[in-house]
Chain A
């Protein structure tokens, strides 16, 4: 019975239906604000519950796409309404639906003006994110991929910090420039293959010379999204200015769009170009890991520091993907999911103290442990997960990436591993400066204890990070066949896999 339901369409467009509810709320400002929060929370929570259907119904032993929906959209032009999930997109869908209620909960008190518009922006954003992950048509993918910019631009620009206008413009234009180059490549692919169907394009053989150009076009878009060094500069600005929940979603889900794009398009569609450009990507990623870690060390703003750490962690992801072996790709996937949870939690950690003290300067804090001991525990846990402590999800991802990188190139593994040391350095140092020592000021002394709402955000994140840390197979099993499919595809295209050495 339920098999015949368009589950993916329902999940994708449910938040959009919630927007309609938000629009009909009437009353004075306080009522509207309160009801908007409640409605948005319920809608996103319900979307999460429905998305569990695909988790339960997902068959890890079946290769190919599941929950597929295909309808006629543009006649016989080769463009159709096509949705489906495989082991690569399914975790991301759940990550999106899981983080969204938490993000809405995180903005419960910190957003006081234009609450209704804020919630609309978030729900629209959720639809776009989910739609992007479940699209199996390239044009549809692009529609969702680009449309994400609209709500995010507004979230940063309307509810952001003092330099929000600059950050919003930089975010929008940077990403748009990358995306339009991808658009031209999509046009070329559509003309070459006669269809925008993603499974069909995956099996289509593009000429080797053409592949290189196409790869570069897609690379321009995904590298900005990931973001890779040297096109990462929009990220610290966007993160610093965005409201807490905006940062959570930005780091938690939007950055993964780049990694997902590499796995869905670049690797399977342009295998020989991927092999050709892999060294370039390794170099850029290693620079990202080392350089941005050093930059993070020098930051005085907590959010900026975590933003730079994101760039470093995403460097691991690109290394894993382009090492083109099972461990590497699985590690990259794992790292993306783990980073999605951990970085969202870390940005929320900053948000918790920012709500109380209204500053993100590290120097304004000190001795917070004495005032908020339970907060200290959560912060400690997430910090260690970010560093990659065994038993947390961060460890599994980084470990697998290192194994994958080692098979590709030992030097690569060495440089990548140095990122772990640097990561530990800046995170531990941050923790020491903020949490330990004497209570620096009366403001810090008078900080409020954690509220139930904040526990409600931390607990699910902590449980998941721990769960994936001790039982990684839960995730790895789901992805295995899809990763194998990509690798088989690469092998079939004559790419000499690094693993074969």
Chain B
């Protein structure tokens, strides 16, 4: 095989990000110590993300695959990559000042985010068991480190360690499953696996391998019952890190789940849709019920994200075009809701200390009306109240479920969303119906205001732009499900 430079063109965004990461290593090492350098690295990271996003949108190479078919950059990858890039951009952008205030503003943070971002992008484009595993590891390892970034905090170290141990376990399962699948198909490429599983009797070992692989990714998605690390890691990590965890890696992991199920196992949806359905129901239940008793908003958001993954997986369980389409709309709304919510959680500080108990929000509507309004919009959207973005995600996901004959799943889903509404309303109650004793710090960085403003606008006007989102998601879905 003759290697040509043009063959690498589909991977240009990743190459840009990786080059930036390497360059940032030098800047971080030689740029001097202190806040100025951390800021410089963060700004360069943002620049790299913008460039990558620009490349994703504008460069459309002749062929979709690269690296001998291990990498696939189709319309689906473009769509999901934009989501991931937006989520990471917002997370880095609004973390600069909070990190400085927490005195953990090391240049390594942005650098590690950048490396992890390369992993996420590769996950979305994975088209081979090898690239899948490499991407997952590249995405995870930097995150283990940033989780433990607050070195003088026991909880942060605990979060990092816990995340690492369970992440390693899930990688092991993924790898074991991959080996069984490889053993059956005799190839690691998704196209080859898809060809091998079509119209044949499938041995039990293969099914076990497939389920192990789905389980491994379910860890990354934090779908119940593989969610145990989520609340602790969310709570223990510094808030900027949680903001990062909660958004982009989830999108990447869901994208990987879609890639694997449709790329490799597309013709045997019957075999895996039950597994996904079980994950979905369990996540909706755990997410809705687990969040009720939480007193820490980051912990609550952890359960909330578990529930959201349950809803997204309900679309996947449908095993149809509509299902994938629903998942994509859902993840789109999820990114903006997550970004908007965390832009407020990041500024929850009192007397210079991070204050993330739900009760700290008491009376926010009087002290900082605009942020209270913003958080209220996010909470109503997460509860799925129309006409906000979260509703449309649910509409399309459940539409697919009902269309696939999974009415009980849809009914469980909507009932759980009512239970979920309870704890979202609780936040609104605390902000609006109660008076504050000690207001939160009023000094808010501009970045958070910008991020909040943009995500509020997107959430509230989602219905107006829905048509173009639908068209893009439809093209992406068709690309994902196209036979090789």
Whether the Cβ atoms of A164 and B385 lie closer than 8 Å is: no
- Interface status of B27 (Cβ within 8 A of chain A): no
**From residue A215, how far is it (CB to closest CB) to chain B in Å?**
15
Using CB atoms, name the residue of chain B closest to A184.
B410
- Interface status of A424 (Cβ within 8 A of chain B): no
Determine the chain B residues whose CB is within 8 A of the CB of A154 once the complex forms.
428, 432
Whether the Cβ atoms of A73 and B467 lie closer than 8 Å is: yes
**From residue B473, how far is it (CB to closest CB) to chain A in Å?**
12
Bound together, the chains give a CA A491 to CA B386 distance in angstroms of 35
Determine the chain B residues whose CB is within 8 A of the CB of A165 once the complex forms.
429, 433
Bound together, the chains give a CA A480 to CA B32 distance in angstroms of 83
Using CB atoms, name the residue of chain A closest to B377.
A150
Bound together, the chains give a CA A409 to CA B447 distance in angstroms of 68
Using CB atoms, name the residue of chain B closest to A158.
B432
Determine the chain A residues whose CB is within 8 A of the CB of B428 once the complex forms.
153-154, 157
Whether the Cβ atoms of B467 and A153 lie closer than 8 Å is: no
Whether the Cβ atoms of A172 and B386 lie closer than 8 Å is: no
**From residue A126, how far is it (CB to closest CB) to chain B in Å?**
15
Contact pick for B385, options A117, A146, A187, CB 8 Å: A146
Interface size on B (CB < 8 Å)? 31
Determine the chain A residues whose CB is within 8 A of the CB of B429 once the complex forms.
157, 165, 168-169
Whether the Cβ atoms of B432 and A177 lie closer than 8 Å is: no
Whether the Cβ atoms of A142 and B386 lie closer than 8 Å is: yes
Whether the Cβ atoms of A180 and B432 lie closer than 8 Å is: no
Determine the chain B residues whose CB is within 8 A of the CB of A143 once the complex forms.
386-387, 391, 463
Determine the chain A residues whose CB is within 8 A of the CB of B470 once the complex forms.
74-75, 77
CB contacts between A and B, total, < 8 Å: 84
- Interface status of B407 (Cβ within 8 A of chain A): yes
**From residue A393, how far is it (CB to closest CB) to chain B in Å?**
34
**From residue B460, how far is it (CB to closest CB) to chain A in Å?**
11
Q: Which of B379-438 contact A (CB under 8 A)?
A: 380, 385-387, 391, 395, 398-399, 402-403, 407, 410-411, 414-415, 417-418, 421-422, 425, 428-429, 432-433
- Interface status of B275 (Cβ within 8 A of chain A): no
- Interface status of B466 (Cβ within 8 A of chain A): yes
Whether the Cβ atoms of A164 and B387 lie closer than 8 Å is: no
Using CB atoms, name the residue of chain A closest to B322.
A191
| A interface majority secondary structure | helix
Using CB atoms, name the residue of chain B closest to A176.
B418
Bound together, the chains give a CA A169 to CA B432 distance in angstroms of 13
Residue-wise, chain A 329-366 has the 8 Å CB interface mask toward B (1 for contact) of 00000000000000000000000000000000000000
Determine the chain A residues whose CB is within 8 A of the CB of B411 once the complex forms.
181, 184
Residue-wise, chain B 422-462 has the 8 Å CB interface mask toward A (1 for contact) of 10010011001100000000000000000000000000000
Determine the chain A residues whose CB is within 8 A of the CB of B351 once the complex forms.
none
Bound together, the chains give a CA A431 to CA B414 distance in angstroms of 45
- Interface status of A173 (Cβ within 8 A of chain B): yes
Residue-wise, chain A 117-146 has the 8 Å CB interface mask toward B (1 for contact) of 100000000000000000000010011101
**From residue B393, how far is it (CB to closest CB) to chain A in Å?**
13
- Interface status of B4 (Cβ within 8 A of chain A): no
- Interface status of B471 (Cβ within 8 A of chain A): yes
Using CB atoms, name the residue of chain B closest to A182.
B414
Determine the chain B residues whose CB is within 8 A of the CB of A188 once the complex forms.
402, 407
Whether the Cβ atoms of B415 and A169 lie closer than 8 Å is: no
Determine the chain A residues whose CB is within 8 A of the CB of B398 once the complex forms.
183-184, 187
- Interface status of A251 (Cβ within 8 A of chain B): no
Whether the Cβ atoms of B425 and A153 lie closer than 8 Å is: yes
Determine the chain A residues whose CB is within 8 A of the CB of B422 once the complex forms.
169, 173
- Interface status of A94 (Cβ within 8 A of chain B): no
Determine the chain B residues whose CB is within 8 A of the CB of A72 once the complex forms.
467
**From residue B317, how far is it (CB to closest CB) to chain A in Å?**
15
Bound together, the chains give a CA A190 to CA B410 distance in angstroms of 15
Bound together, the chains give a CA A169 to CA B433 distance in angstroms of 11
Residue-wise, chain A 90-120 has the 8 Å CB interface mask toward B (1 for contact) of 0000000000000000000000000001000
Bound together, the chains give a CA A447 to CA B96 distance in angstroms of 61
Residue among A164, A172, A181 facing the most chain B CB atoms (10 A cut-off): A172
Whether the Cβ atoms of A177 and B385 lie closer than 8 Å is: no
Whether the Cβ atoms of B467 and A74 lie closer than 8 Å is: yes
Q: Which of A194-212 contact B (CB under 8 A)?
A: none
Contact pick for A177, options B399, B410, B418, B467, CB 8 Å: B418
- Interface status of A439 (Cβ within 8 A of chain B): no
Residue-wise, chain A 414-442 has the 8 Å CB interface mask toward B (1 for contact) of 00000000000000000000000000000
Bound together, the chains give a CA A183 to CA B422 distance in angstroms of 18
Bound together, the chains give a CA A403 to CA B425 distance in angstroms of 45
A-B contact pairs, 17 of them (CB 8 A): A143-B387, A144-B387, A147-B386, A149-B385, A150-B385, A153-B425, A153-B428, A154-B428, A158-B432, A158-B433, A173-B425, A176-B385, A176-B418, A181-B411, A184-B410, A187-B402, A191-B403
Given contacts A180-B415, A183-B398, A184-B402, list 4 more A-B pairs with CB under 8 A: A147-B386, A149-B385, A154-B428, A191-B399
